[in-house]
Homo-oligomer: A and B are copies of this chain.
Amino acid sequence: MDSKVRLHITGPLYGGQQAVLSKDQAHYLSGVMRLSPGDTITVFDGASGAWRATIDAASKRGGTLTLGDRVAPQRDPPDIWLCFAPIKKARTDFIVEKATELGAARICPVTTRYTNSERIRRDRLQAHAVEAAEQCGGTFVPPVDEIVTLAKLLDHWPDDRALIFCDEALSDDPDWSGEGESNPWPPAPAAILIGPEGGFAPAERDRLRAHPQAMAVGLGPRILRADTAAVAALTVWQTTQGDWT
């Protein structure tokens, strides 16, 4: 049986290769999806496209696959990062899932002065990104970075990367207001920065304002929650500068 199941496995992948499944993956194929030896699934490693693979064996103790033909080329997203201050667990998970679907190239959790959650489980968020790519037909999984402070992120900001920041409080500032509505958003390489629910601290705002590559943008007349702002900003960028055009 040709199943629609897609699994991310460690590469590099090549035709004829025998690949070892993790216990969780083998259990998922046999116990949850009820697949048997001889059934085919699709696998990808995040770098070399998607491949058809035949199940050799799969049980709750483990399993193996044999790779056949490559069925889709590798497709990387445009070079857009999403930097965001973690919020409540379910909403942080949601941001990672949606950023993967919408084609973020990198996910950077950032702690700011008014961030409530200073810690993240990086491995858990990375697993969410993998699952989103598996579910949504992607061949790319954005890396999820360890959390850094906003100060450190800005200290090491790449010279060539635009920094698009979304801050409701800043939209009210007459010096900045409307900049993002009249000027086009910058092309890749770029990054979107979503502030915490409490906004940026005055010192952080001053630093962002003074940053030569930074640009404040507004996201409409209603106040958006941080998770909504992340999805909306990625959508606007993808439709104007990314690969939706």
Chain A positions within 8 Å of B, measured between CB atoms, are: 75, 77, 94, 97-98, 101-103, 135-138, 181, 218-225, 228, 231-232, 235-236, 238-239, 242-245
Contacts and interface: CB of A to CB of B under 8 A. Distances in A.
Contacts of A236: 235, 239
Contact of A232 (B97, B222, B235): B235
- Total identical chains: 2
Nearest to A230: B231
B239 A102 contact: no
A222 B137 contact: yes
Given A135-B225, A136-B224, A235-B235, 8 more contacts: A101-B223, A136-B222, A136-B225, A138-B223, A221-B244, A231-B235, A232-B235, A235-B236
Contacts of A103: 220-222
A101 B245 CA distance: 25
A236 B236 CA distance: 7
